Amino acid sequence: MLAQVGVAIEDDGVGTRGADGQGRRPRRAAWVSAFVHRKLQCTCGAASLWACDFWRQVSAHTERAVGRTIGELNVEDYDNQERFAEDNVALFQAISEMSGKRYIVDSSKHAVRLSLLLENPALEVVPIFLLRDPKGQICSSQKTSSSIIRLIGNYVRTNREIYELVKHRPHSVVRYEQLVRSPEQVLTVLMEDLSLSFNPRQLEWASQVRHNVGGNGMRRSHSSELKLDEKWRDRLTLLQKLAIDAGTLLGRYRFAKSVHPKTMPGAS
């Protein structure tokens, strides 16, 4: 399995999403609080996970395997590591079995979760780090925090934590801006790195049956078009842009060196 847990079933794999953000310790089983009990609509059109045939089958599978439904699994309580390990393996195996897919893409963002998944001998985990221009990431984060200095610190700390986790392991780095501008080129290289083949249907994700229950509003889009978000160009002052570029250098240069040269503009 590829692990980097709502779920998007695509032709070459299943994408799953966690609910926590950076810099905070999530509550027990964010999967439960954010997706099951809140009854968020599945992107297949079902009103909730319990109304979705796919998720009901996944839940029945985990109940048979470990005696717990998806609403009872511990997928983000890091204090109970034994239960965390058992329940995450049960969830990944259930998703794989019910979807008929060999690869799971876990797009949760917490470094502690990644570290525990990497330590689990029952999982083969290949981290994929999506590296965005820090001005764009910090501008987006300003919605919840007005301190540029604090956001720069969070950016550097998070990137360095993740780098320390993956630097001696197989991993891939993808630049957000390159992915949006040239998705086929970037995905082709990424799939090669993972010993897989690019399928053009990967670019037509919106037309396929999906089972996402977390993420941004794009998951409900009827269009597969990727749109580059560069609001930072107008919203940040020149001084803020310079401060972010300088302040985040230590948090991004190691990853910047890891970007595959074939995905760089003008590369052959």
Name the pTM for this structure: 0.78
Mean pLDDT, residues 30-56 taken together: 73
Q: Is residue 254 part of a domain?
A: yes
Domain count, the chain: 1
Distance CA 229, CA 192 (A): 27
Distance CA 149, CA 169 (A): 31
Q: Is residue 2 part of a domain?
A: no
Mean pLDDT, residues 73-85 taken together: 88
**Backbone φ and ψ of 174, nearest 5°:** -125, 130
Q: Is residue 139 part of a domain?
A: yes
Closest listed residue to residue 164, CA positions, set 32, 254, 66? 254
More confident residue, 34 or 23: 34
Q: Is residue 1 part of a domain?
A: no
pLDDT category of residue 249 using cuts at 50, 70 and 90 = confident
Q: Is residue 128 part of a domain?
A: yes
Radius of gyration of the chain (CA): 19
**Domain span including residue 217:** 7-263
The answer on pLDDT for 93 being more than 90 is yes
Q: Is residue 225 part of a domain?
A: yes
Q: Is residue 268 part of a domain?
A: no
Distance CA 57, CA 80 (A): 26
Inter-CA distances, 177 with 117, 141, 182, Å: 28, 17, 8
The answer on pLDDT for 188 being more than 60 is yes
Mean pLDDT, residues 159-185 taken together: 91
Q: Is residue 215 part of a domain?
A: yes
Distance CA 53, CA 220 (A): 18
Per-residue pLDDT tens for 127-156? 998 889 999 999 988 866 668 999 999 999
The answer on pLDDT for 160 being more than 70 is yes
Q: Cβ–Cβ contacts within 10 Å for residue 249, how many?
A: 12
Q: What is the mean pLDDT of the chain?
A: 80
The answer on pLDDT for 90 being more than 50 is yes
What pLDDT, on the 0 to 100 scale, is given for residue 1? 32
CATH number of domain containing 135: 3.40.50
pLDDT category of residue 28 using cuts at 50, 70 and 90 = very low
Mean pLDDT, residues 182-200 taken together: 92
Mean pLDDT, residues 196-214 taken together: 84
More confident residue, 191 or 268: 191
